[in-house]
Chains A and B, each alone.
Chain A
Amino acid sequence: MMRAVAVGPPLLGGGVLILGWVALAAALQGGHLVAGPAEVAGWITTNPGLIGRALGATLANAALGFLAGNLVAVALAAVAMIWPRLLNLVSGLALVVFCLPLIATGPILRVLMGPGDGPQIVLAALAVYYTTLIPLLTGLRATPAVWLDLVHSYGRGRWSELIHVRARAALPYLFAGLQIAAPAAFLGAMVGEFTGAERGMGVLTIRFMRALDVPALWAIAALAAAVSMAVYAAIGALARAVLHDRPPVILAPPRVMGGSRPERVMQPILLVAVVLVLWWGAMALPGMNPFFAKSPLDVMAALTTAPQAAATRDTLWTALAETAVFLLPGYLAGLILGAGLAVALVIVPNLSALVMPIAVALRSVPIVTTAPLIVLFLGRGALGTISLVAVMVFFPTLVACLHGLRQAPGQILDVFHTYAAGRLRQMAHVRLPAMLPALFAAARMSVPAAILAVTVVEWLTTGRGLGSLMALSASVSDYNMLWAAVVVVTTISAVCYAGVAAVERRILSIYAPEQVRR
């Protein structure tokens, strides 16, 4: 079964990665691309104060954000369980907030909260709460109906369900979510630091990228990766100590649109209405500076009736097109490579012992922190950006697809074994169909992640597309443009997510009907 969560493989993976790193550094010696482990260790020992303070600041912010984001996720999940009617609205709102581009949220929070650690903490929390909320909701709802019948047969209601059954049944899912959340919090804190903090790993990243200080960049990426892997492994170890079953690989099925047809039409409309009201309400709070705090009406006006509305729209369209050119190939490549490698690993099982540990180790790395390295290798052009998006999508897809392939029903496989059907035939008839739900779950969850990756790289390096536009608008205080870009990115992100979910529901209704029932 899934060995991915044991302690051994990640450690082994870390070891293999270091060996590969040594080999890479030796091969590319003198090319000013790779600083080997020795060089990085040397750099760290000569700058212990600098890197130590930065790491301390980022870790503190990430930890606070991790705590806050997860508390919010737990509270939202509890609300959705006690008042099931709110479930759709809560998860819809959570998705919209998760789709907010951190690149824009950062500067906006900076203006709102002023200097200090506030924005980093909030961004870390924003990066975390959704990756916890979704597994948690899945776990809370995945409870077998008979367990709930047991509670009902003694005349108890939702509270007892939650306390005696659901909360405990969801624990493995919560831990799986927390594991993924740890690197996400680190990533959120670093993105927050990109947008104008005084201290932290993100600040150092920007500084050394400008100076093209290769050993320093490698040192930062290596430290970020090591810390994330350690926390990921620690949460996994904690989970194994607390639970006697291992944390599941999360394949949250898409939200089932409940109710009648009018209800299904009403739900998205209600969601949009609530989002607009909340936005408008927040901007109307006392103390909000109208120069900066734009309401839905302001954005609407900037895009339609304002004198420069046409120019604004043009700029947005151009940026959107530039982003799409990088985003789509990267996203698709990540999905195809992830699913393809998963298939290869099942057909050639020996390969899996080598690849899986590396994949698990890399999955726990906040990918965006490696952006400067990928850019060092592949340049500031299309290839670097596309690769980063692909890497961001690749690892979750690989892990999910492997899980799906291994979930192929044993009894059906036994039928194939009776006829001595080979691996390829098993793959085509049993395993691939069994993998589809996992592939689509990964595709859906990867949409916001891919958009985050592409906007961060655009802003850090390429200077094109929506990411760059948002950063530029923030730096020249063009808040109409900034808010408009936020609306565009969030809408696209949420609509693509919903679009993948719609395709997913159709596929699942054929290949995994039990997942879309209820």
Chain B
Amino acid sequence: MADTDGRARIVCTGLSKAFPGGLRAVAPLDVTFDAGATTALVGPSGCGKSTLLRLIAGLEEPSEGEVRIDNLTPARQRSRGAISVAFQDPSLLPWLTVRANVALARKLARQPPDPVLVEDLIGLVGLSGSEDTRPAALSGGMRQRAAIARALATRPQILLLDEPFGAVDELTRRQLARDLPPLWQPRGTTTLLVTHSIHEAVTLADRILVLSPRPARIVADIAVPLPRPRGPEMTDSAEFRALVTRTSEALAQGDADNAPMAAQ
């Protein structure tokens, strides 16, 4: 079971996923995500990052291997309301207001309503004033922020973020990368973040896993020992830039390893 402070550890053993038709999205993978840590998954498009996230959430069944979250299956953890996913597509229900969409997560997780928390979260993602707006009237970035607020509304032990800032403009993106982690990090939420942005990965994560092109394999496991909070002065620092460079090189390396013909 989870610790008393709500930390949960994710262990993947021999985890692999092949889709009907032989497409292998995830190579056999052995990896542990420490309780309370934020891990960024970076890799080329279509490398199976999202599939890995879905496997950990239990939304896909693994072809082989297993996922255990504090020794329980993802399905068990889901039914306890321990997991939240912010999907790549904001997937807000169009007939509900922003407030009702955020509150819906608590209803689905069988948690008592908490209007104060919902209100706070909407404020933190910068949507104050849009509480009673329906998603159709929001911009793409606003929808994604609403989806993040929803994902946080259940105070999850496991938070899975699938390119949550994809449609957010660069300025807001950096602001969110600064403002959001304090929402989950002090609570010891184990967070997995799929992203294309190396900058974002270094800003948000304690650890970066660089994945190869499909099927996803780990090509580099990079620790990010930067202090928090990581404000603008941090992102200009030499350590930060060194980590960005290391991650980009690992990405390029993973690409080259997988395409020997192209490297010729």
Q: A152-B59, A160-B108 are in contact. Are A165 and B83 (CB under 8 A)?
A: no
Do B83 and A153 have beta carbons less than 8 Å apart?
A: yes
Interface string of A133-167 (1 = CB under 8 A from B): 00000000000101101111111100010001100
Do residues A154 and B78 form an inter-chain contact, with CB atoms below 8 A?
A: yes
Q: Select which of B77, B85, B95, B134 is within 8 A of A149 by beta carbon.
A: B85
Does B59 lie within 8 Å of A149, measured CB to CB? yes
Rounded to whole angstroms, the CA-CA distance of A150 and B151 in the bound complex is 10
Task: Evaluate contact between A144 and B80: CB separation under 8 angstroms.
Answer: no
Q: Is the CB of A147 within 8 A of B93?
A: yes
Contact A153 B57 (CB under 8 A): yes
Distance in angstroms between the alpha carbons of A92 and B78 in the assembled complex: 36
Q: Number of residues in B with C-beta < 8 Å to the partner?
A: 27
| Known A146-B89, A164-B108, A244-B134: A153·B95 in contact at CB below 8 Å | no
In the complex the two chains form, is B91's CB within 8 Å of A154's CB?
A: no
Complex contact B108–A149 (CB within 8 A): no
Task: Tell whether A155 pairs with B107 under 8 Å between CB atoms, given A149-B85, A244-B95, A244-B134.
Answer: no
Residue of B nearest to A149 (CB): B59
Distance in angstroms from A229 CB to nearest chain B CB is: 29
**Contact at A150–B108, with CB atoms within 8 Å?**
yes
Residue B16 is within 8 A (CB to CB) of chain A in the complex:
no
Max chain A Cβ within 10 angstroms of own Cβ: one of B75, B83, B84, B95: B95
The answer on a CB contact under 8 Å between B81 and A155 is: yes
B87 pairs with A154, CB closer than 8 A: no
Please indicate the chain B residues that have their CB under 8 angstroms from the CB of A514 in the complex.
none
8 Å CB interface, B77-128 against A: 77-81, 83-85, 87, 89, 91, 93-95, 104-105, 107-109
A243 to B96, CA, bound (A): 11
B39 on the interface (CB 8 Å rule)? no
Instruction: Encode A164-179 as 1/0 by CB contact (under 8 A) with B.
Output: 1100110100000000
Question: With contacts A160-B108, A244-B95 known, is A155 near B80, CB below 8 A?
Answer: yes
Q: Give min CB distance, A446 to chain B, whole Å.
A: 31
Q: How far is the CA of A160 from the CA of B93 in the complex (A)?
A: 14
The 0/1 profile, CB within 8 Å of B marked 1, for residues 360-384 of chain A is 0000000000000000000000000
User: Does B212 make an interface contact (CB < 8 A)?
Assistant: no
User: How far apart are B70's CB and chain A's nearest CB, in angstroms?
Assistant: 15
Contacting pair B93 A165 (CB below 8 A): yes
Any chain A CB within 8 A of the CB of B154?
A: yes
Q: Return the CB mask of A113-144 against B: 1 if under 8 Å, else 0.
A: 00000000000000000000000000000001
For A, the interface residue count at a CB cutoff of 8 angstroms equals 20
**For B54, B79, B81, B93, which residue has the most chain A Cβ atoms within 10 angstroms?**
B93
Instruction: Note all chain A residues with C-beta closer than 8 A to B81.
Output: 154-155
Q: Are A155 and B85 in contact, CB atoms less than 8 angstroms apart?
A: no
Q: Tell me which residues across on chain B come within 8 A of A171, comparing CB atoms.
A: 95
CB-based contact A144/B91 at 8 Å: yes
A149 and B87 contacting across the interface, CB-CB below 8 Å:
yes
Give chain B residues whose Cβ lies under 8 Å from the Cβ of A155.
Answer: 75, 77-81, 83, 109
Chain A, Cβ-Cβ closest to B79: A155
- Residue ID in chain B nearest A156 by CB atoms: B108
A164 to B93, CA, bound (A): 9
Cα-based distance from A144 to B95 in the complex (angstroms): 14
Residues of A within 8 A of B58 (CB): 152
Contact A154 B59 (CB under 8 A): no
Question: With a CB–CB cut-off of 8 A, which chain A residues contact B154?
Answer: 154
Choice from A150, A152, A154, A168 contacting B95 with Cβ under 8 Å: A168
Say yes or no: A154 contacts B108, CB within 8 Å: yes
Cross-interface CB contact of B108 among A144, A151, A169, cutoff 8 Å? A151
Q: Assuming A149-B59, A154-B78, is B104 touching A164 (CB within 8 A)?
A: yes
In the assembly, what is the distance between CA of A359 and CA of B164, in Å?
46
CB atoms of B93 and A168 under 8 A apart: yes
Contact with B along A225-250 (1 / 0, CB 8 A): 00000000000000000011100000
A153 and B85 in contact (CB under 8 A), knowing A160-B108, A168-B95?
yes
* Minimal Cβ-Cβ distance residue in A for B104: A164
Could you tell me the distance in whole angstroms from the C-beta of B45 to the nearest C-beta in chain A?
18
Taking the closest CB of chain A, its distance from the CB of B89, in whole angstroms, is 5
> Is A153's CB under 8 angstroms from B104's CB?
no
* Closest-CB distance, A106 to chain B (whole angstroms): 41
Would A153 and B84 be within 8 Å (CB), given that A165-B93, A168-B95 are in contact?
yes
Do residues B78 and A152 form an inter-chain contact, with CB atoms below 8 A?
yes
0/1 interface trace, chain B 52-82, chain A, CB 8 Å (1 if under): 0010011100000000000000010111110
Closest chain A CB from B239 CB (angstroms): 35
> How many angstroms from the CA of A156 to the CA of B134 in the assembled complex?
24
Residue from A149, A154, A165, A243 in contact with B109 in the complex, judged by beta carbons closer than 8 Å: A154
**Do residues B91 and A146 form an inter-chain contact, with CB atoms below 8 A?**
yes
Q: Bound complex: CA of A154 vs CA of B107, how far in Å?
A: 9
Chain A contacts for B109, CB-based, 8 A: 154-155
Q: A154 touching B83 by the CB < 8 A rule? A: yes
Minimum CB–CB distance for A156 against chain B, Å: 6
Q: How far is the CB of B30 from chain A (nearest CB, A)?
A: 24
Cα(A144)–Cα(B54), bound, Å = 16
Kindly state the separation between the CA atoms of A152 and B160 in the bound complex, as whole angstroms: 14
Q: List, in ascending order, chain A residues with CB within 8 A of B89's CB.
A: 144, 146
- What would be 30 A-B contacts, judged by CB atoms less than 8 Å apart? A144-B89, A149-B54, A149-B87, A149-B91, A150-B85, A150-B87, A150-B91, A150-B108, A151-B108, A153-B57, A153-B59, A153-B83, A153-B84, A153-B85, A154-B84, A154-B105, A154-B109, A154-B154, A155-B75, A155-B80, A155-B81, A156-B79, A160-B108, A164-B93, A164-B104, A164-B107, A164-B108, A165-B93, A168-B95, A171-B95
Closest 8 pairs (CB-CB, A-B): A155-B79, A155-B78, A146-B91, A154-B108, A153-B85, A154-B109, A146-B89, A146-B87
Q: Given A147-B93, A155-B79, A164-B104, list of 11 further CB < 8 A pairs?
A: A144-B91, A151-B108, A152-B78, A153-B85, A154-B83, A155-B78, A156-B79, A164-B107, A168-B93, A244-B134, A245-B94
